[in-house]
Structure 1
Amino acid sequence: MALSTLDERTALVLIDLQNGIVGAPVAPHSGADVVARSVELAEAFRAQGAPVVLVRVTHAADGSDAAPGRTEQARGAGAPPAGWDVIVDDLAGHDGDLRVTKRNWGAFYGTDLDLQLRRRGVTQIVLAGIATSIGVESTARAAHEHGYHVTLATDAMTDLNEDAHQNSIERIFPRLGETGTTAQILDLLAKTRA
């Protein structure tokens, strides 16, 4: 599906572009490529006066604030390295950006993201980040359930598993919103804000 429009009040939401995640082995795009495309999007949104939201995930070193419940896959053992949950330098340092800290996969549950977006009259979000099938998809699902129009920058996201990335791009995201490349989104942003 082609991108149709960006609402007058659209926000860019970048998921987990932080030191301990962008360097992980990911596919099909490298963490560096995702950051570079996210920087392009953020600069364009800031230039238009549109909100940019930087979401990071963190947890207590002892795991005491981790989501409860049994899983078949073991959780990470030991304390993460210092600074793992700090937004990458290429995106940090812009005073006007909103910052959201989450302790779950998605950026809505247990945070003030919805409140911050609604206070600014936001009706649509553009999503990018790492990992496609985890943080990005969880946030896209919740955004859709909260009534936001959702646009997904498919070349500004990547995953720990390329098959999982493709499943989200091809099967899940078209049911939640519209998908497009960074270049297509930037072109649409320029046209709708002209």
Structure 2
Amino acid sequence: MTKTNPALLVMDIQNGIVSRYAEKPEALAPFQKSVEAARKAGIPVVFVRVAFRDGFPEVSSANKMFSAIKNQGGMTEAEWATQIHESVAPRENEPLVTKRRVSAFTGSDLEVVLRARGINELILTGVATSGVVLSTLREAADKDYHLKVLSDACMDGDAEVHRVLTEKVFPRQADVMTVDEWISSVNE
């Protein structure tokens, strides 16, 4: 069995997205707990956000989701909406990866950051389960990463979609567990 070298990915926990999904501050507690546990265990924490350059040069009119953002404006790199939420703010030595699509890998330097550190296992957290978590899990599985998903550190606007993904779809390619179960496994 290959020894794993893990990293915790905290994906799209940025102001403009959190404000739409986490109505109560306690909804972010599992994210905070996972970040604190990773730091304590010496596991690298990598923050991922979606943001665009001024003028949206990377957004095609053929992309239904992102062309709508382009038409409305917002979500550029410097805006409040694209900054990581203060409840899990990155420390100085923790990378912030900016992606240009749904998957954390697409249009970003995530893979370069992971390779530089010899990371071969990803612990996935994020908003939304049916967006960044699903897309990143699928791409990471195709890239042969060992994968874990922290089910209670993922959120989706549709509880049933979240349930189906975490209970039926994700287990085909990842170990799905709660934050507490993961912390117990790290401390063994």
Q: Same fold (TM over 0.5)?
A: yes
Letter aligned with residue 162 of structure 1: A
Letter aligned with residue 80 of structure 1: G
Letter aligned with residue 39 of structure 1: Q
Partner of residue 121, structure 2: 124
Letter aligned with residue 109 of structure 2: D
Is 1:19 the counterpart of 2:15? The answer is yes
Letter aligned with residue 52 of structure 1: V
Structure with greater contact order relative to length (CA < 8 Å, sep ≥ 6)? 1
**1:70 shift after superposition:** 5.1
Cα distance 1:14–1:67, how it changes in 2: closer, same or farther (>3 A)?
farther
Partner of residue 39, structure 2: 46
Matched-pair identity in %: 30
Cα distance 1:111–1:31, how it changes in 2: closer, same or farther (>3 A)?
farther
Partner of residue 75, structure 1: 68
Contact map agreement 1:15 1:130 (CA 8 A) in 2: yes
**1:25 shift after superposition:** 3.9
What is the CA–CA distance in structure 2 between the aligned matches of 1:39 and 1:72, rounded to whole Å? 28
Cα distance 1:31–1:132, how it changes in 2: closer, same or farther (>3 A)?
farther
What is the CA–CA distance in structure 2 between the aligned matches of 1:34 and 1:148, rounded to whole Å? 28
What is the CA–CA distance in structure 1 between the aligned matches of 2:51 and 2:27, rounded to whole Å? 20
**1:152 shift after superposition:** 0.2
163, 167, 188: which one pairs with 2:164? 167
Cα distance 1:181–1:31, how it changes in 2: closer, same or farther (>3 A)?
farther
Letter aligned with residue 56 of structure 1: R
> Structure 1 stretches of 5 or more lacking a match?
1-6
130, 135, 150: which one pairs with 1:133? 130
**1:34 shift after superposition:** 4.6
> Structure 2 stretches of 5 or more lacking a match?
none
- The alignment covers a number of residue pairs equal to 184
What is the CA–CA distance in structure 2 between the aligned matches of 1:57 and 1:72, rounded to whole Å? 12
Provide TM-score, normalisation by structure 1: 0.84
What is the CA–CA distance in structure 1 between the aligned matches of 2:8 and 2:163, rounded to whole Å? 22
**1:57 shift after superposition:** 0.5
**1:72 shift after superposition:** 8.9
**RMSD, matched Cα:** 2.5
What is the CA–CA distance in structure 2 between the aligned matches of 1:33 and 1:186, rounded to whole Å? 19
Letter aligned with residue 128 of structure 2: A
